[in-house]
């Protein structure tokens, strides 16, 4: 019986690994994306209560406006938007801190931060399930506004 239960444990572990591997696909841009739908889907709203008051103030009154001002390009995507920024250390720190807050208050976003080689630009992509793009359009008009020339 010990040998049989050992086999079951090994088979279950192997199946779990195969399931984990099969839940990712390679996107057209070479990034991996999960294809598994979670049972729970957060509603489309910004849960500002997910951040404590000091962090919420910094997120919405400092980081957001600073990053909007630093955008150098905006790309509309089928399921969201991608924003280009300079890749200096200060902007990188601000962007990653902002993303950390966004994943808490807007857990429905799929967020990607991409830094290009050789000191090239940084890209932050906000995408997600159907409805995500429309949420960004309604709630983030300043983010998707055209970037002023020379920015």
All residues at 6 or more sequence positions from 119 whose CB lies less than 8 Å from its CB, including other chains: 87
> Is 26 within the bounds of a domain?
no
Q: What phi, psi does 87 have (nearest 5°)?
A: -105, 25
> Is 91 within the bounds of a domain?
yes
> Is 8 within the bounds of a domain?
no
> Is 102 within the bounds of a domain?
yes
pLDDT tens, position by position, 116-132 = 999 999 999 999 999 99
> Is 35 within the bounds of a domain?
no
DSSP string, 63-102: IHHHHHHH--EEEEETTEEEEEE---HHHHHHHHHHHHHH
> Is 39 within the bounds of a domain?
no
> Is 51 within the bounds of a domain?
yes
Number of domains in the chain: 1
pTM, two decimals, is 0.72
> Is 31 within the bounds of a domain?
no
CATH number of the domain that residue 71 is part of: 3.10.28
Containing structural domain, residue 121: 46-151
Q: Average pLDDT, whole number, for the chain?
A: 80
The tokens describing 135, both together, are: 């949420």
């Amino acid at each position: 019986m010990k040998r049989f239960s050992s086999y079951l444990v090994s088979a279950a572990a192997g199946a779990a690994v195969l399931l984990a591997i099969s839940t990712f696909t390679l996107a057209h841009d070479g990034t991996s994306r999960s294809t598994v739908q979670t049972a729970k889907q957060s509603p489309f709203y910004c849960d500002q209560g997910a951040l404590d008051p000091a962090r919420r103030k910094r997120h919405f009154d400092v980081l957001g406006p600073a990053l909007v001002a630093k955008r150098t390009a905006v790309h509309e995507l089928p399921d969201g938007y991608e924003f280009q920024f300079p890749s200096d250390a200060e902007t990188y720190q601000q962007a990653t801190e902002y993303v950390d807050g966004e994943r808490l208050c807007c857990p429905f976003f799929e967020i990607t931060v991409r830094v290009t080689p050789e000191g090239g630009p940084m890209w932050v992509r906000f995408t997600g399930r159907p409805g995500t793009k429309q949420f960004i359009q309604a709630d983030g008009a300043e983010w998707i506004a055209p970037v002023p020339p020379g920015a």
